Structure 1
Amino acid sequence: MPHGFDLRNRLGQSTALRVDRDRSRTQVRVAQRLNHGSAVLAAAVLLDSAVEHYRGGFYNPAMVTPLASSLVALVASLHGVGDTVQKRHRHRDAVFGLTAATGVIGTGFHLYNILKKPGGLRWQNLFYSGPIGAPAAIGLAGLFGLLAERVRDTPAPRGPELLGHPAGRVLSLAAAVSLLATSGEAWLLHFRGAFHNPGMYLPVTMPPVGAALLTRAALGASGEQRLFTRAWLGLTALMGVAGMGFHVFGVSRAMGGWRNWRQNMVDGPPIPAPLSFIGLSLAGLAALALMRAFPNE
């Protein structure tokens, strides 16, 4: 009996260790997926702000900040993608924190520039001033980077938590709100363009549906497969790729086409902007994966 009891005890410990290892690997994979999303968002901001601030002639030295911040966030995110250690990286964490702060401050700058113009918060100023949503994208890159570090750092025996709640649910809600905000920015600029192309309705319809599905997942049972939600987020990411193609086509239709790329790239539709939908879809898929992995949390 003692020998059999000892054998069962060892088998139980071995099973528990294997489960802990599986949970640890899952947390690292989810953190890496979040780093993928953060990297795409950082790349979108880096490319977009470079064009937009070049158009503004970098008249304010602070306009260099989002380029530097997004570049560092991109490097940190790519480093996180390749990191298989289940431990928060303090340098990455600091970079993502600064990136998130840069997004908040940049949003304040853009809002201030709109309000100080004649008429303040009016359609004309919203259409042709610095877009409010642009700095928010770099803030989201920092936010999802920070969340990735916290998911990665949770000890294996218990499920990862954020703000005292299961991390998968918090991530799902964060991705849902981010999709809605980004879709709102797309609506503003496409409304300015009078929705002259039916394809312009896609970024103002598909992401809100994805946001609703993610919200439902966050508030529902955490162990479900959510096949339709995952498929919809995949289609939303593909829409981001197609959106870049539409924007490339829009630039080519301007006078002189790509032969006059210096002017048309600046005045035409921002080619990197739809990348944000890809990054946010990846973050949403990571949240769903985390809820599937920890169904009882």
Structure 2
Amino acid sequence: MSARNARTVGVGIAAGAVVGAVLLSALARRRSGAAGLPGVETAAHLDAARAFNRSSALLALSVLADSGIEHYRGSFANKAMYTPLISSLLSLAAGLHGGADSVARKHPVRNVVYLTAASAGIAGTGFHLYNITKRPGGISWHNLFYAAPIGAPMALLLSGALGAVAERLRDEPAVEPQLFGMQAGRALGLAAAAGLAGTVGEVALLHFRGAFQNPAMYAPVTAGPLACALLTHAALAAPRERWFTRVWLRITAALGFIGVGFHARGVARNQGGWRNWSQNVLNGPPLPAPPSFSALALAGLAALRLRETEK
């Protein structure tokens, strides 16, 4: 694929995302207005569901940009490499739509989009695992470092899973909502904590590959596990206000956005810097990856708010 064609594809994807988001958000506002009177405060579980929709959208945006860059670098050698771009684009639109939708019932189209994205994430993990095992040496540090990243498709799975959970939560009653046989706040907290744990593992692997050459590379692999532990404890323990967990999750969310700046600096340090962006963005640290950290921390905050309202 030529650079010109790549730019055309990129512009097309971005334009499609913007147009789709605008149309779906407008539809959400119409449904919201039909559902109840303006100014009426929504239930806590609905607020949590909308927050999970938004977290799913942020994860999908990260996947869309990251898979677009990485699969372009792989020249889209396998036509299946277009799948995460399409799935993440749809998941992004569904997340933006759900984040603006205050209707307390599952949206069937969004639900299908989320389940499809989760399935694509599972299939992508299988493709990436096959890519690793078919190389000389099979599952080895070298192949884990330089073959298809084993954890990357999991971000698409998480985007779909967070969105699907949000849709299921919308169908629950406002009083004592439950998910998977437990209080909804507890279930959401455990789901967000599990996503954080997986993301920390992927970050640890890639930062280990980079030999932690910048001390800031230790930040996500220290803040992340603590955030995961605090959120798990908040989910399993008796409900009460947990200000320190809330503050730490906010710090973790901020680290994801700050990480984009550090990765941009990493790109600039390559030969030619940003003047040679078309080469260095492909070879430097992945710019779209850190916001996935933020998405899961924000989902954890939403789960924590709901957990604190439970008895």
**TM-score (normalised: structure 2):** 0.86
Deviations 1:39-95 (A, max 9, x none): 110000000000000100000000000000000000000000110110110110111
**Counterpart residue type for residue 43 of structure 2:** R
Instruction: With a CA cutoff of 8 Å and minimum separation of 6, indicate the structure with the bigger relative contact order.
Output: 1
Matched, 1:196 2:213: yes
Matched, 1:146 2:143: no
- Deviation, 1:203, is 1.2
For 1:89, the equivalent position in structure 2 comes to 107
**Counterpart residue type for residue 172 of structure 1:** G
Residues 1-297 of structure 1: matches in 2 within 5 Å? 25-156=43-174, 158-222=175-239, 224-293=240-309, 295-296=310-311
Distance 2:168 2:243 in 1: 26
Distance 1:109 1:161 in 2: 35
Segments of structure 1 that go 5 or more residues without pairing to the other structure are 1-20
Distance 1:98 1:159 in 2: 29
- Deviation, 1:191, is 0.7
**Counterpart residue type for residue 203 of structure 2:** A
Distance 1:117 1:233 in 2: 39
Distance 1:78 1:54 in 2: 26
**Equivalent residue of 1:121, what SS?**
coil
Distance 1:173 1:29 in 2: 18
- Deviation, 1:264, is 0.1
Segments of structure 2 that go 5 or more residues without pairing to the other structure are 1-39
Distance 1:229 1:108 in 2: 35
Deviations 1:10-64 (A, max 9, x none): xxxxxxxxxxx86x52222111111111011000000000000010000000000
**Counterpart residue type for residue 189 of structure 2:** S
- Deviation, 1:155, is 2.1
- Deviation, 1:177, is 1.4
**Counterpart residue type for residue 198 of structure 1:** P
Distance 2:199 2:66 in 1: 14
Deviations 1:161-217 (A, max 9, x none): 111111111111111111111111111111111100000001111110000001100
- Deviation, 1:242, is 1.0
Deviations 1:238-272 (A, max 9, x none): 10111100000000110001111011000000001
**Equivalent residue of 2:43, what SS?**
helix
Identity, % of aligned positions: 56
**Equivalent residue of 1:272, what SS?**
coil
**Counterpart residue type for residue 266 of structure 2:** G
**Counterpart residue type for residue 73 of structure 1:** S
Q: How many residue pairs are counted as aligned between the two chains?
A: 272
Distance 2:57 2:87 in 1: 12
- After TM superposition, which residue ranges in structure 1, 4 or more long, deviate above 6 angstroms? none
Structure number with bigger Rg: 1
- Deviation, 1:219, is 1.1
